[in-house]
Amino acid sequence: MKTNGQQKLKICMLLPPLASNMRVNPQIGICSYLTNFGHEVSWVISLGKDYPPRQFLLKGAKVNDIPYRHYFPGDSLLAKVFNRIPNILRRTRFILKVFREEEYNLIFVRDEPFDGLIATYLKRRYKVPFVYELTDPLEQKWSAFRMEPRKPKLLHYLATAFDIWLRILVMKKADLVLTTTRWFEEGLVEKGISKSRLMPYPNGAEIDSFLNKDGKNVHKKYHLTSSKVIIYVGAMSRARNLGVLIEAFPIVRQKYKKVKLLMVGDGTDRENLERLATKLGIEDEVIFTGRVPQTEVPHFIAASDIGVSTVPPLSHYRVSSPIKIFEYMAASKPVVANEEIFEHKEILGQSRGGLLVAYTPEAFAEAIIELLNNPEMAPEMGRRGQGWVVKNRSYDVLARRLESKYFELLNQFPAL
């Protein structure tokens, strides 16, 4: 079958588990969006443990759900290892079965190095290109190891070192390595990954999901009707250091009494953030929603006036691509983001869709107050941001770029 005069893509994606709220990462969504262009996309993923293997459709992609089974109780490192080994074997058998029954012409792996080893074999066995996506810099794993130490420390150190070594090995075998931003590339080249096989694969937004959304139910549920709403959407781990945002809010409150901070998400540091809000006397003005379904996120953003993206300026975060900034902009909300993050600086500089600030509570507070003080400037920033995202980071635009690269791979293979 031909698509736009070219061969039809038939892609098998080997994916790690999704978050418990079924939040599909943009890169997965972008690759799956290729179904809108007449291509076929299948996932192999583990979503749960209490049912037999199943198959269903999700936004055009055929999902093969292979449950992750817990053979050994507990959450220790040894229990995880002894549970993981039989699950890897089960998953491997299933993937090999899928490839025997279907004729895929490209295999995609997101992060998981053992899936990368399987893909390396399938590449040789079936003569198909192997694409590997690295979502976070390798250094981020070491940072997590240092910031959230777990016992036994030596075993966790060895597990982290082995995981990184295996990822590097897999990337050297891949025909294409997708990095979330172009700023990843230098570090990977230093580790022996050929620059010619690297391609930035940035985050974006599914525009239609954020258009014409209604925040009335969110306003009603959290009693926001008479307040201006500042929103943060994302993880709340210790590494995110969201205390900067919580500490900024009392400064905002000195100027504006009718303003609320909506913290959408969850994580290991949430209780500490709640205690900080109480300590600062703003516990009634900072609302922690916990995890919400992906389909509800656009409604929460629609209920807000300003979107905030605060990312610690650590080396591995500087090169990241925060999803939240694209979602705020797709919903036509002005953004306040810290300038130390390369994507923040580039995108807001190009789009003029918000304000760049230093990574301090005072700077975030000052920018939020400036937007609240200028009721005409803020909506205009939102409109500019939305226009930029539609033109540069919509799923349609990014999927077309990926489609073009995939066809290039197929035309070159197996000469790669």
Q: The tokens of 270 are what?
A: 């949430």
Are 132 and 174 in contact by the 8 Å Cβ rule? The answer is: yes
Which residues, other chains included, contact 317 with Cβ-Cβ below 8 Å and sequence gap of 6+? 140, 311, 341
Q: Is the torsion defined by CA of 43, 48, 51, 52 positive or negative?
A: positive
Nearest residue to 228 via CA among 252, 204, 202, 200:
252
Partners of 309 in the β-ladder: 337
> Residue 226 region, left (φ>0) first, then alpha (ψ -120 to 50), else beta?
alpha
Nearest residue to 28 via CA among 133, 139, 156, 112:
133
Residue entry with tokens 């959230």: 148
Residues (pLDDT < 50) of the chain are 1, 4
- pLDDT score at 41: 97
- pLDDT score at 149: 61
Domains parsed from the chain with CATH numbers: 2-204+394-412 (3.40.50.2000), 207-392 (3.40.50.2000)
CA atoms within 13 A on the CB side of 306: 29
Axis crossing angle, helix 377-392 with helix 323-330, rounded to the nearest 10: 110
- pLDDT score at 22: 55
Burial 96-127 (b: 16+ CB within 10 A, else e): eebbeeeebbbbbbbbbbbbbbbbbebbeeee
- pLDDT score at 6: 62
